[in-house]
Chain A
Amino acid sequence: MTTEEAIDRINELLDSTDLETVNTSMRIPKALRDAAALAVSELGVAPSATVVTANALRTFLEGTVVLAALDLHFEKYPEARPSLADLAIAAAEIEGSPLAQRPELLRRSAAEIQRRHPQAEPEDVLLWAEAREYGAEEQKGAA
């Protein structure tokens, strides 16, 4: 099975309307199972621990299958890979952050943080940019 075929099959299964259930012999840490049971019985977060598990698995798979598709895309079209600054600007828009209106600040911040932390994530850039702005305002206030 190629990666493309695997991705397409996972997507088909995720979109399936088949409600049939199965018992699985999946082994999970006992403490995690007990924590899920307590979250259901005492916090009412979901109708059952099974629902908690299935929902968590679904959202994880829905995100990671797209990430796998994007990896394939970037293998084929390396120039399509967005920069950290592009991702930070998109993250700011998605989060509804006022920093979305300051793309130049985000580009500068992405360049700075990447020099110190090459594995930085878009959220790190937003925090860095906000910290820079806070620092600049404090300095202005002190002057």
Chain B
Amino acid sequence: MSRLVLLDNEAVQALRDPAHRKHHQVISYVLDVAKLTARSRTVRIAVPAAVRVEAGWDRTASSWASVNRFRMADVPLDTNHADAAAGIVKRTGVSVADAHLGAVIQAAEPGEVVVLSSDPGDMRKVAEGRRVDIVAL
């Protein structure tokens, strides 16, 4: 089965700042995914667009250049994800970024997603019963 590793805002901040107490934890996933990719394993690491906005991650800014080199894909906030995220916000009251994470989790195959998050409770909330592996930061 393919795996999709998602980052929440805190995970992005931890990745960007080598002095962050969770930096080595997040970088472990980037390193493992890169090794698996080089061996043609179907595992991806991505950031929902709304999370990237919340994190202030501007790919054109030089201050984010080193993080850009880790080749983390964007998950666009397209029509389907926007509709799903709007529903999640309405039902759970979470932030737009967390709702976009929820929309990606709910659109994926059951058990496909691993999410790195500082708030596992909110991730369970936005998954709304869908199977997801949550790594607490």
Q: Which A residues lie at the B interface, using CB under 8 A?
A: 4, 7-8, 11, 14, 56, 59-60, 62-67, 69-70, 72-73, 76-77, 79-83, 86-87, 89-91, 93-96, 100, 121-122
Find out whether the CB atom of A64 lies under 8 angstroms from the CB atom of B71.
Answer: no
Q: Report which B residues bind A (CB closer than 8 A).
A: 1, 3, 5, 18, 23-25, 27-40, 43, 65-66, 68-71, 111, 114, 133, 135
Q: Are B40 and A59 in contact (CB under 8 A)?
A: yes
- Residues of chain B contacted by A87 (CB below 8 angstroms): 28, 31-32
Describe B's contact surface by its main secondary structure.
helix
B24, A66: Cβ atoms closer than 8 Å: no
CB distance from B47 to the nearest CB of A (A): 14
Q: A66-B30, A69-B69, A70-B30 known; A94 and B24 CB under 8 Å?
A: no
Cβ of B114 and Cβ of A94 under 8 Å apart?
yes
> CB-CB < 8 A to B32: which residues of A?
87, 90-91, 94, 122
